[in-house]
Structure 1
Amino acid sequence: MMTPNEIVAMCRVDHDKTFRLEDHDPAWAGDPDIAKDQRKKFAEESLTQNVSDLAEAQDRLYAADSWSLLIIFQAMDAAGKDGTIKHVMSGVNPQGCQVFSFKHPSAEELDHNFLWRYTKALPERGRIGIFNRSYYEEVLVVRVHPELVHAERIPGSKLNDDFWDDRFEDINALERHLSRNGTRVLKFFLNLSKKEQRKRFLKRLDDPSKNWKFSADDLSERGHWDDYMKAYEETIRATSTKWAPWHVIPADHKWVARSIVAQTIVQAVEALDPKYPQVVPEHLETIKAAKQQLEAEGKDKDKNKD
């Protein structure tokens, strides 16, 4: 059986111009020679441990107030972004974590450059910021629906290869800037198969409690599946860098995706090696005096009871 760290390495896309999405199996679920229930149990136990480890590591990250962590989730509809965030981040202190979901841009946002509304939501030092969809929509959904670019009113823009290459360059530059200035960037593509998406859509339609999750746009976007896969492949190939690599996560099995994402995040935070601030000698004297005062108060109360 592969170790958790080996699995994370398997999913990480190094700066490789030969990246192909077809080389990553959405249905991967570990060694097939090991019974599925054993693999699932191992993944669930690993998730539980990682949730606990992340809670402790995030406490140190928040106290150190030095690094921040930006976690980006991109995926097709029904790939499990919301559920993964819910389960993986379940132990994190809400004070040190922020989640942002980005919908269609407003008129104000369209009056700025394509990165503006995302940079406003970047995490502060000591905090974890989660983007449920991100600026990568600007080279994914906008690429599949190029008419959306016209709404941005970019002077002299021509939708050719140079236009998209420039956007990739801008994104890489932003992430390089963030990494140089204390923000670690983690990027996850939850790799769902078209077959599994169909199953999940049908489940939403069959379950009244999940009907609200379904939109007619979901089927419309599914009709562009091949275009999206091409856009994702080119985007990952162009923007998986040494300072901000992509992780392509097999997402047909939710228990697999959640376990790998949790392990990857814990590994990243631990690599930052956040530490609780050291207390200066002067403050230690203050702590000692405060402790003596409080202990004395307790003794006085005990005497009064007698």
Structure 2
Amino acid sequence: MKKIKINDFKVTKSITLNQISTTFDLEANKKEIEKELENVREALGDFQNTIYAHGKYAVLICIQGMDTAGKDSLIREVFKDFNARGVVVHSFKVPTELELKHDYLWRHYIALPARGKFGIFNRTHYENVLVTRVHPGYILGENIPDVNSIDDVNDAFWDKRFDQINAFEKHIAENGTIVFKFFLHISKDEQKNRLLRRLQKKEKNWKFSPGDLKERKLWDDYQDCYEDAINRTSKDHAPWYTIPADDKPTARYILARILYDTLIQYKDIVEPELEDEVKSHLDEYIKQLESE
């Protein structure tokens, strides 16, 4: 199977999304890919136990993508070997009344993983420069001072919001959170096929909403906003990765491989050793238990 190179997917310079492929040939069949995914997710599960015991880092995994990009199933398949105590998944939808009474980053900040844990954001704080940028009228619902009409949601507004997001991510990274940001990059044709499957297969009907078709008509607008957001916010401390997502098993494996290969570079993340006083009495403790 083809070896994954992190830098083939990591955004280190300005990108143009329509020039990046939505497919990637791993030179393996589906069963081989799934077997390799099983191996790497087991290794990730072991690493999770180590980072939990170590207790000095948190890991934040941000997953974005167009409708049908495969976010939910990817989370299910990549993280199924994690201990439930060490991972929390948050799916961010339309802000609630309470959330709208706070700044737009508040609900994301309070959902951040504690040290020793993994946090997965299924849709993320980037919705605030994606959906709201395509539909700027939504910003008026945030009741921001000095934003009284659509005219106030201008280039200067978005510049400021990107600065705030970059500052947010830098702050958490400097305080021990390892940040990954993944864009599941699917083609418009593949989205059409997946929407059709939702309509044609009864067991998938529940996933479909007429709103999906309305948003699909804005495909180009969303692609422009994703491209701009990725280019403005892919930093060394919080990089973006574009994941070819037309084939779900391939996307899952690539994402898992990038996670693992990056995390094992943190050589200081090791399980803590017992104190010398405790270690010196191990034989005694063993005898106590064996004599019961």
Shorter-chain TM band: over 0.9
- 5+ unaligned residues in a row in structure 1: which ranges? 298-306
Q: TM-score, length-normalised on structure 1? A: 0.90
Give the counterpart letter for 1:25 in structure 2: S
Give the counterpart letter for 1:265 in structure 2: L
Alignment match of 1:168 (pick from 162, 178, 187): 162
CA offsets 1:212-263 (integer angstroms, 9 cap, x no match): 1111111111111110000000000000011111000000001110010110
For residue 290 of structure 1, what is the aligned residue in structure 2?
285
For residue 63 of structure 1, what is the aligned residue in structure 2?
53
For residue 17 of structure 2, what is the aligned residue in structure 1?
21
Mapping of residues 116-265 of structure 1, within 5 Å: 116-157=106-147, 158-265=152-259
CA distance in 2, matches of 1:252, 1:62: 33
2:83 aligned with 1:93: yes
CA distance in 2, matches of 1:194, 1:226: 10
CA contact (8 A) 1:26 1:252 kept: yes
Give the counterpart letter for 1:213 in structure 2: K
- 5+ unaligned residues in a row in structure 2: which ranges? none
CA offsets 1:118-175 (integer angstroms, 9 cap, x no match): 0000000000000000100000000000000000111113211111111111111111
For residue 264 of structure 2, what is the aligned residue in structure 1?
270
CA distance in 1, matches of 2:145, 2:225: 24
Per-residue deviation, 1:23: 2.2
CA distance in 1, matches of 2:34, 2:159: 40
Name the stretch that deviates more: 156-165 or 128-137.
Answer: 156-165
CA distance in 2, matches of 1:52, 1:19: 33
CA contact (8 A) 1:189 1:248 kept: yes
CA distance in 1, matches of 2:102, 2:16: 33
Give the counterpart letter for 1:26 in structure 2: T
Give the counterpart letter for 2:107 in structure 1: R
Give the counterpart letter for 1:240 in structure 2: S
Q: TM-score, length-normalised on structure 2? A: 0.95
Number of positions where the alignment pairs a residue of Structure 1 with one of Structure 2: 287
CA distance in 1, matches of 2:201, 2:224: 32
Give the counterpart letter for 1:10 in structure 2: D
Q: CA RMSD in A?
A: 1.4
2:37 aligned with 1:43: no
Give the counterpart letter for 2:286 in structure 1: K
CA contact (8 A) 1:96 1:126 kept: yes
Name the stretch that deviates more: 195-204 or 39-48.
Answer: 39-48
Give the counterpart letter for 2:95 in structure 1: P
Per-residue deviation, 1:107: 1.4
Q: Helix, strand or coil: the match of 2:90?
A: strand
CA distance in 2, matches of 1:178, 1:10: 26
CA distance in 2, matches of 1:240, 1:39: 32
Name the stretch that deviates more: 110-119 or 279-288.
Answer: 279-288
Q: Helix, strand or coil: the match of 1:55?
A: helix
Larger Rg: 1
For residue 74 of structure 2, what is the aligned residue in structure 1?
84
Per-residue deviation, 1:40: 3.6
CA offsets 1:87-109 (integer angstroms, 9 cap, x no match): 00011111100000011111111
CA contact (8 A) 1:101 1:133 kept: yes
CA distance in 2, matches of 1:218, 1:167: 26
Per-residue deviation, 1:39: 4.6
